[in-house]
Amino acid sequence: MSAAGTQSETLEFQAEVQQLLNLMIHSVYSNREVFLRELISNASDAIDKLRFEALQDESLFEEDPELKIRVTHDPEARTVTVVDNGIGMSRDDVIENLGTIAHSGTRRFLEQLTGDQSKDAQLIGQFGVGFYSAFVVADRVEVYTRKAGAPASAGVLWRSDGQGAYTVDTIERPERGTTVVLHLPESQQEFCDDTRLRNIIRKYSDHISVPIEMPQAQAGDEGEQEADAWEVVNRASALWMRPKSEISEADYKELYKHVAHDFDDPLTWVHNHVEGRQAYVSLLYIPKRPPFDLYEQKPAHGIKLYVRRVFITEDTEHLLPRYLRFVRGVIDSDDLPLNISREMLQHNPMIASIRSASVKRILDRLERMADNEPETYAEFWQAFGRVFKEGVAEDPSNSERIAKLLRFSSTYEEKETPDVSLDDYVGRMKEGQDKIYYVTAESFNAARNSPHLEVFRRYGVEVLLLPDPVDEWLVAHLQEYDGKSLVSVAKGELDLEALGEEEEGEKEEREQKEKTYEELCNRLKEALGDRVNEVRVSHRLTDSPTCLVVGEYDFGMGMQRLLQAAGHQLPTGKPTLEINPDHAIIQHLQAEPQQRFEDWALTLYEQALLAEGGQLEDPAAYVKRVNGLLAG
């Protein structure tokens, strides 16, 4: 096979690729026909890339300027072949693209796999396996390719049976672009069928904007087929340019799968033809589920930017803010210069105005969804709420609209699934209540069981439960909603009158207790030294003996830990220890002799710290101390 001068090399797949391949080969894939959609999607991307590069260097078209994809089959040889005259690949490209997975987050994605094939098959769909889906139907795959502009002698042949290794050869290949040949086992014979292939292409790839050609269907007798008669099987026009009324739901969904590299349908989309000072089309999708790399710095996919139907770049930074980084889609501008570079996107005023209009359209869509389809909105929130919340800080110009769309858990029904809006909360506020109360914690249960909530429960005042790390940022930026300030239940002095409903005589009783326990507070402060700023009688507690409170303008304890973990020096003050005068331990402490008093003081402080989700400096000493006290 290898002629003189060719270089044949057998290489092993990167471990992650082999893992994926095994999954592909062995997973009971209900929808095997999507292999063709994936290969055509890659071919179309390769043609997009060529068209873009040819803007700078027309010679890349070589003698073959008509960009197209061809699909053929050979029932005798049992092959299906996909050919494109796109950008093609060099030998290095082939090894890099078909032997490894460059996506950041791949390893983490693979760790999520459960071994349960149907669940894993879904996850694989989200990951977007693309080329490797060839192995769902083929037991052997060959890729012949040559990069545009390279000499015919720089052709490459890649071959593999998907079992651990692949071979790369250098070959002569006069044609630019890529030919993928799938060798099907007998069990997959059904795909070697003209009608079947046409139907698959119409079903999944109609939206592809380059022509997809197949040999003209034979009319009548054998042998009459013209040697080179092809016909275009798809509509071959940019879907997003068509009037909305002419686009079916199915068309929208298939385009989504192509641009988002997702196997699942989108949750929703917004499609706009914009005229006027700037003309462009935007078609933006919200996925159903988070992409695997939602929290990576450099996500693999984003918004495809086109200028007058020519693909320019896939942008993940400039066309939308980061808190909407889960949105996928296409923006096609009539007015941007064709030679716009990625760097130019950053400072281009047209891009800035497309961006702010796109944000508004997405917020509009979400608002309508929240009002009219609360169940769909709940799905959205479940998938993307955490990321969306970043918007309060990131996008001050829209922060009111974003705040309206936020959903929280609260003490109202104590549901872990966040479904309380700030408007719901405000609508339930008690008479005289003028603040929105929240508690941050490290988990839903920690928030729900926080000692700080005790007095709020007693007065029947609702508190928002905020268990995400990002919530700390959220409340740092969202100080007010609907004229009411957001207040942490764990900060500063509580204004009980603001909670309303203080019963007759309660105030006097409180003041009396403060007096009675003043001396105890002083002794505790002395025992705790500079661990705490102050010790005082609490009005928050009904069940717990103690809790820790930070200053009104300090970071919450959780945020302090986050910042410290990130290596920040904090200028914040020490917390205050509050004691519950109605608690048996506190009452008992009044009479405790000095030698055990210090153990009690430390233990109460450390328990309050634990209840906050904090960590003890010396857990073993704590256990010893508690055991000493238990032993009496």
User: Is 409 among the residues that bind ligand ADP (CB under 6 A)?
Assistant: no
Min CB(543)–ligand ADP separation in Å: 54
- Answer for which of 90, 131, 424, 492 binds ligand ADP (CB under 6 A) is 131
- Answer for which of 99, 130, 613, 614 binds ligand ADP (CB under 6 A) is 130
User: Is 314 among the residues that bind ligand ADP (CB under 6 A)?
Assistant: no
Q: Which residue number, 259 or 363, has a Cβ lying nearer to ligand ADP? A: 259
Residues in CB range of 213: below 8 A, 6 or more apart: 68, 69, 70, 71, 230, 231, 232, 233
The residue ranges of DSSP E strands in 264-351, in sequence order, are 266-274, 280-287, 303-307, 310-315, 328-333
| d(C-alpha 528, C-alpha 530), whole Å | 6
Question: Which stretch, 10-18, 81-89, 217-225, 429-437, contacts ligand ADP (CB under 6 A)?
Answer: 81-89
User: Is 81 among the residues that bind ligand ADP (CB under 6 A)?
Assistant: no
Site for ligand ADP in 317-356 (CB under 6 A): none
- Answer for which of 21, 43, 547, 601 binds ligand ADP (CB under 6 A) is 43
Q: Which residue number, 42 or 560, has a Cβ lying nearer to ligand ADP? A: 42
The residue ranges of DSSP E strands in 88-190, in sequence order, are 140-146, 155-160, 165-171, 177-183
Neighbouring C-beta atoms of residue 74, cutoff 10 Å: 11
Q: Which residue number, 19 or 542, has a Cβ lying nearer to ligand ADP? A: 19
- Answer for which of 54, 60, 109, 128 binds ligand ADP (CB under 6 A) is 128
Q: Answer for the pair 365, 268: CB distance below 8 angstroms, yes or no.
A: yes
Question: Which stretch, 8-16, 130-138, 167-175, 187-195, contacts ligand ADP (CB under 6 A)?
Answer: 130-138
Neighbouring C-beta atoms of residue 260, cutoff 10 Å: 22
- Answer for which of 160, 178, 409, 450 binds ligand ADP (CB under 6 A) is 178
Question: Which stretch, 22-30, 84-92, 110-118, 187-195, contacts ligand ADP (CB under 6 A)?
Answer: 84-92
User: Is 20 among the residues that bind ligand ADP (CB under 6 A)?
Assistant: no
Min CB(137)–ligand ADP separation in Å: 15
Site for ligand ADP in 252-271 (CB under 6 A): 261
DSSP character at residue 338? T
Min CB(300)–ligand ADP separation in Å: 7
Q: Which residue number, 134 or 336, has a Cβ lying nearer to ligand ADP? A: 134
- Answer for which of 24, 33, 48, 86 binds ligand ADP (CB under 6 A) is 86
Residue type, 110: L
Min CB(93)–ligand ADP separation in Å: 7
- Answer for which of 22, 72, 97, 587 binds ligand ADP (CB under 6 A) is 97
Question: Which stretch, 23-31, 86-94, 418-426, 449-457, contacts ligand ADP (CB under 6 A)?
Answer: 86-94
Q: How many residues bind ligand ADP (CB under 6 A)?
A: 16
| d(C-alpha 455, C-alpha 16), whole Å | 53
Min CB(88)–ligand ADP separation in Å: 6
Min CB(389)–ligand ADP separation in Å: 29
Q: What is the side-by-side order of every strand in the sheet holding 303-307?
A: 266-274, 280-287, 328-333, 303-307, 310-315
User: Is 500 among the residues that bind ligand ADP (CB under 6 A)?
Assistant: no
User: Is 608 among the residues that bind ligand ADP (CB under 6 A)?
Assistant: no
Backbone CA torsion sign across 409, 410, 416, 420: negative
| d(C-alpha 558, C-alpha 561), whole Å | 5
- Answer for which of 54, 89, 336, 549 binds ligand ADP (CB under 6 A) is 89
Min CB(152)–ligand ADP separation in Å: 17
Q: Which residue number, 41 or 603, has a Cβ lying nearer to ligand ADP? A: 41
Q: Answer for the pair 155, 90: CB distance below 8 angstroms, yes or no.
A: no
Question: Which stretch, 127-135, 486-494, 504-512, 535-543, contacts ligand ADP (CB under 6 A)?
Answer: 127-135
| d(C-alpha 9, C-alpha 4), whole Å | 14
- Answer for which of 29, 51, 52, 84 binds ligand ADP (CB under 6 A) is 84
Give the angle 473-477-479 at the CA atoms, nearest 5°: 125
User: Is 467 among the residues that bind ligand ADP (CB under 6 A)?
Assistant: no
| d(C-alpha 586, C-alpha 544), whole Å | 10
Residue for token digits 């704590």? 622
User: Is 492 among the residues that bind ligand ADP (CB under 6 A)?
Assistant: no
Min CB(326)–ligand ADP separation in Å: 17
Min CB(102)–ligand ADP separation in Å: 8
Question: Which stretch, 124-132, 222-230, 233-241, 327-335, contacts ligand ADP (CB under 6 A)?
Answer: 124-132
Give the angle 182-188-189 at the CA atoms, nearest 5°: 90
Q: Is 435 helix (H, G, I), strand (E, B) or coil?
A: strand
User: Is 46 among the residues that bind ligand ADP (CB under 6 A)?
Assistant: yes
Question: Which stretch, 39-47, 323-331, 377-385, 568-576, contacts ligand ADP (CB under 6 A)?
Answer: 39-47
Min CB(53)–ligand ADP separation in Å: 12
Give the angle 375-377-383 at the CA atoms, nearest 5°: 110
Min CB(420)–ligand ADP separation in Å: 38
Q: Answer for the pair 217, 242: CB distance below 8 angstroms, yes or no.
A: no
352: left (phi over 0), alpha (psi -120 to 50) or beta: alpha
DSSP character at residue 14? P
Residue type, 188: Q
Q: Write down the H helix ranges in 316-440.
A: 342-345, 349-372, 374-388, 391-394, 399-405, 422-428
Looking at the DSSP assignment, which residues form a beta bridge with residue 579? 537, 546
| d(C-alpha 187, C-alpha 447), whole Å | 56
Q: Is 44 helix (H, G, I), strand (E, B) or coil?
A: helix
| d(C-alpha 376, C-alpha 196), whole Å | 35
Q: Which residue number, 86 or 467, has a Cβ lying nearer to ligand ADP? A: 86
Give the residue closest to ligand ADP by C-beta. 130
Residue numbers at the binding site for ligand ADP (CB under 6 A): 42-43, 46, 84, 86-89, 97-98, 128, 130-132, 178, 261
